[in-house]
């Protein structure tokens, strides 16, 4: 069965510093991996996805993620954090190639302080 | 290009009532999925529809049901509402059958409060 783990409930970082939000996954077959962000009282906004190809995926708002097959990780990164990046971040894995079903991690709250 | 549209955005229902939530996917998208988000359980998959057929169903009681119309619009229904059904219900749409075929986009959600 597929699963996703986000080991940190909250990540605190100072504005201008690099940020990392961690995600590990367990899946049989090829992983389809996603990152979404949720602002208060809003839906999920797509940041980036890994389907195949380059291990470094670039996404929206300056975010990127590194796919590491040996460590089964897909950590979200940004070189310089902004206060406006403060939100709830979800990592998700797609179940298989013929379904749009996503399995989500529990979410990580990112707090960027000025 | 309009995004995924969910209506209503907010609603309050009484225990025992039923509720219908609507989702209009992005134009051209044929796959629609529904998720329930609660503080305790996080994001949980409800069901997925593709070309009017339910392809997957999550581990929810039969009170939760859905359907998809020929124009890809989808509705979900919850009957005999319980307090625990209070949640944000999110709809997602994608172009085709699987994640490799396109990005999965979410709507703003429908906030359901059961009193």
pLDDT of residue A97: 62
Contact residues, chain B, for A43 at CB < 8 Å: 4, 6, 90, 106-109
> For testing the chain A interface, which of B48, B104, B109 should be mutated: the one with the most A CBs within 10 Å?
B104
Contact residues, chain B, for A57 at CB < 8 Å: none
Contact residues, chain B, for A101 at CB < 8 Å: 33, 45, 48, 56
- Calculate the CA dihedral of residues B38, A46, A8, A84 and round it to 10 degrees: -100
* pLDDT in single tens digits along all 114 residues of chain A: 789 999 999 999 999 999 999 999 998 888 899 999 999 989 999 999 998 888 999 999 999 999 999 999 999 999 999 999 999 999 999 866 667 789 999 999 999 999
Q: Residues A105, A92: contact at Cβ < 8 Å?
A: yes
B1 compared with B77, residue with greater pLDDT: B77
pLDDT of residue A98: 67
3-state secondary structure chain B: CCCCEEECCEEEECCCCCEEEEEECCCCCCEEEEEEEECCCEEEEEEEEECCEEEEECCCCCCEEEEECCCCCEEEEECCCCHHHCEEEEEEEECCCCHHHCCCEECCCEEEEEC
For residue range B46-62, list pLDDT tens digits in order.
999 999 999 889 999 99
pLDDT of residue B9: 96
pLDDT of residue B1: 64
Confidence of residue B78 (pLDDT cuts 50, 70, 90): very high
A113 compared with B103, residue with greater pLDDT: A113
Q: Give the β-pairing of A10-14 and A108-113.
A: parallel
Lowest mean pLDDT among A21-25, A49-53, B26-30, B98-102: B98-102
User: Six-digit token pair at B33?
Assistant: 């999925």
Q: Is the pLDDT of residue B79 over 90?
A: yes
Task: List residues of chain A with CB under 8 Å from any CB of chain B.
Answer: 32, 34, 36, 41-46, 49, 51-52, 90, 92, 94-107
pLDDT of residue A96: 66
């Amino acid at each position: 069965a597929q699963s996703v783990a986000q080991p940190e409930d909250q990540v605190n970082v100072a504005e201008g510093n690099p940020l990392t939000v961690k995600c590990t996954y367990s899946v049989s077959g090829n992983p389809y991996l996603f990152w979404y962000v949720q602002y208060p009282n809003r839906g999920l906004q797509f940041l980036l996805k890994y389907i195949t190809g380059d291990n470094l995926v670039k996404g929206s708002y300056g975010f990127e993620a590194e796919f590491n097959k040996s460590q089964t990780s897909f950590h979200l990164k940004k070189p310089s954090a902004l206060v406006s990046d403060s939100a709830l971040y979800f990592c998700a894995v797609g179940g298989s190639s013929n379904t749009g079903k996503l399995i989500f991690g529990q979410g990580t709250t990112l707090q960027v302080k000025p | 290009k309009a995004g995924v549209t969910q209506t209503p955005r907010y609603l309050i229902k009484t225990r025992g009532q039923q509720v219908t939530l609507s989702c209009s996917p992005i134009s051209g998208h044929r796959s629609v999925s529904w998720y329930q988000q609660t503080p305790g359980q996080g994001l949980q998959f409800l069901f997925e529809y593709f070309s009017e057929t339910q392809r997957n169903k999550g581990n929810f009681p039969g009170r939760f049901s859905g359907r998809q119309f020929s124009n890809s619009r989808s509705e979900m229904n919850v009957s005999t509402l319980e307090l625990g059904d209070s949640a944000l219900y999110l709809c997602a749409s994608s172009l085709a059958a699987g994640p490799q075929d396109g990005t999965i986009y979410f709507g703003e959600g429908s906030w359901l409060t059961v009193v």
